[in-house]
Structure 1
């Protein structure tokens, strides 16, 4: 049901961009606010504003907020190349291939982890939103590696809490352009949606706290292989933080990677792989660790770099 809101701009938002003001007033994302403005659902003193327009305290704001589009329910669909690393009555741990999203989202038409598990006859927890039942964390569609899915309701609630409380050790390897200086470091920079509203994220003042630790494993002429540990798990966190350091993941065109280098190495996606995941088993309490080898495309690119260096 469409919601209609008519009210003056609060004094505390004087001078804010209107998309940012809408976000703060109604709890919308900046992207969603920009969509409402573009659709003509926002009037400022009776006129449709530009999303970058600055608001004046007391200006009359009229906003129509249609219900957000809902993600489709997961469809059982086999996912070639998705391997089961471990399974019991409460969890299933997979090795996720590239081109596979964790769960259905608006606009995604490709395969999903949930769909692949359902197609193979695996049960998943029913907790959470219908389109992401059992999903306690996510990997980007083109990021490969270890991912755990909850099968029981108890496992779901305990794993969600463990991820929230940072009791899970998530380790990634990333091939980035150039050579980070220092070779080992920490990026502590808040992340939120990019103001452009084009699906990217960025280091943004007032964003969600985000902490990434990195260590150089191997240096090549044009790139460096890093081991990365995450304290937080923001969307695109590693990709955003590496780009902010001016060392984007090789192949990550969304965040400024060099297409020439990616083509030379045969990399058609961001070079980012979840190599291990450690957590306390939600039922037994025992610490468990699962690992994943590099997929063929990533391993081949390293062979090329080593031959050149």
Structure 2
């Protein structure tokens, strides 16, 4: 598929890889540099490289390569299943596991494990994300609900849209939060300065996080966060926005921080109406060992 763009005056002298990263929202800079390297980007009919500086009036055209469909493989990976019935599976995802396959993560994901455990998963999200109605980040642990059929999938997605699913997380954040409760209502979108991150931006999508302080420490705070919406990296972005980034967060926190395998964030509970019976279901799991060890250290250090 070929696309086109005419360089405007305020684009003058920008590197072409930077300009294309700004105007193509669903492609990373490294992807765009790969297109440039493989002569998929032309300016005025001639292929150019990443360091080309655009001029006003330049006609840029680029061809997005066809994405090869992933071959999903059922893999015998241990799963901690908290609940299962004919419609829904609730799993406790470990930190370090990706939810569904994508470029660079073709195997070892939660979906690969689910396919081994259960052949019947809803197909609404296509072959690459069967059963997946919501996600948590690779290095976030905790509860996910998975749909085993299309009826369940439609119901759970509708509940998420209606904000009736109850999702609570616990987190350890930098700094001592001065108040006991708070609501962060700030829209989230792609960070214009760093396309691999999300940020609070004016034209972002609605994002609301409620938090309650559970314990104060000298330079950290233990909090419970309740999601009203479910944007990518929402809690991580919102806590950074109020200057209390998550401990151990390599993307949104300080470079030198606690020795955790990723951010100190755990999806501790989830509640929803059962898609078939309408009965309210709620499940809760403890945080993983490294999270508990950090919390105990902070408690003993007081």
Same fold (TM over 0.5): yes
Contact 2:188/2:206 (CA < 8 Å) preserved in 1?
yes
With over 3 angstroms needed to count, the CA separation of the structure-2 counterparts of 1:173 and 1:110, relative to structure 1, is farther
Q: Which runs of 5+ in 2 are unaligned?
A: none
Residue 191 of structure 2 corresponds to: 194
The answer to whether structure 1 residue 289 and structure 2 residue 286 are counterparts is no
Contact 1:71/1:105 (CA < 8 Å) preserved in 2?
no
Q: How does 1:40-79 map to 2 (within 5 A)?
A: 40=36, 41-43=40-42, 48=48, 59-67=57-65, 69-70=67-68, 72-79=70-77
Whole-angstrom CA distance in 2 between matches of 1:300 and 1:33: 38
Contact 1:42/1:61 (CA < 8 Å) preserved in 2?
no
With over 3 angstroms needed to count, the CA separation of the structure-2 counterparts of 1:184 and 1:53, relative to structure 1, is farther
Report the alpha carbon displacement of residue 298 of structure 1 after superposing the two structures with TM: 0.9
Q: Which runs of 5+ in 1 are unaligned?
A: none
Whole-angstrom CA distance in 2 between matches of 1:24 and 1:131: 27
Secondary structure of the residue that 1:132 maps to in structure 2? coil
CA RMSD of aligned residues (A): 2.9
- TM-score, scaled relative to structure 1: 0.84
Among residues 35, 45, 52, which one is paired with 2:31 in the alignment? 35
- TM-score, scaled relative to structure 2: 0.86
Secondary structure of the residue that 1:303 maps to in structure 2? helix
Report the alpha carbon displacement of residue 99 of structure 1 after superposing the two structures with TM: 1.3
Report the alpha carbon displacement of residue 63 of structure 1 after superposing the two structures with TM: 1.6
Secondary structure of the residue that 2:95 maps to in structure 1? coil
Report the alpha carbon displacement of residue 60 of structure 1 after superposing the two structures with TM: 4.2
Contact 1:31/1:193 (CA < 8 Å) preserved in 2?
no
Secondary structure of the residue that 1:39 maps to in structure 2? helix
Whole-angstrom CA distance in 2 between matches of 1:22 and 1:61: 12
The answer to whether structure 1 residue 15 and structure 2 residue 13 are counterparts is no
The answer to whether structure 1 residue 270 and structure 2 residue 263 are counterparts is yes
Report the alpha carbon displacement of residue 259 of structure 1 after superposing the two structures with TM: 2.8
Among residues 191, 201, 206, which one is paired with 1:204 in the alignment? 201
Whole-angstrom CA distance in 2 between matches of 1:6 and 1:296: 51
The answer to whether structure 1 residue 301 and structure 2 residue 297 are counterparts is no
Deviation digits for residues 152-208 of structure 1, max 9, x if unmatched?
111011111221222211111111011124332121222222234552222223122
Residue 95 of structure 2 corresponds to: 98
Secondary structure of the residue that 2:299 maps to in structure 1? helix
Contact 2:142/2:285 (CA < 8 Å) preserved in 1?
yes
Report the alpha carbon displacement of residue 272 of structure 1 after superposing the two structures with TM: 0.3
The aligned length equals 295
Secondary structure of the residue that 1:64 maps to in structure 2? strand
The answer to whether structure 1 residue 236 and structure 2 residue 229 are counterparts is no
Report the alpha carbon displacement of residue 20 of structure 1 after superposing the two structures with TM: 9.3
Whole-angstrom CA distance in 2 between matches of 1:125 and 1:209: 27
Deviation digits for residues 88-111 of structure 1, max 9, x if unmatched?
111111111111111111112552
The answer to whether structure 1 residue 256 and structure 2 residue 249 are counterparts is no
With over 3 angstroms needed to count, the CA separation of the structure-2 counterparts of 1:305 and 1:198, relative to structure 1, is same
Report the alpha carbon displacement of residue 308 of structure 1 after superposing the two structures with TM: 0.2
Deviation digits for residues 15-45 of structure 1, max 9, x if unmatched?
36878986897xx425447733663344455
Report the alpha carbon displacement of residue 254 of structure 1 after superposing the two structures with TM: 1.4
Whole-angstrom CA distance in 2 between matches of 1:67 and 1:128: 22
Contact 2:247/2:253 (CA < 8 Å) preserved in 1?
no
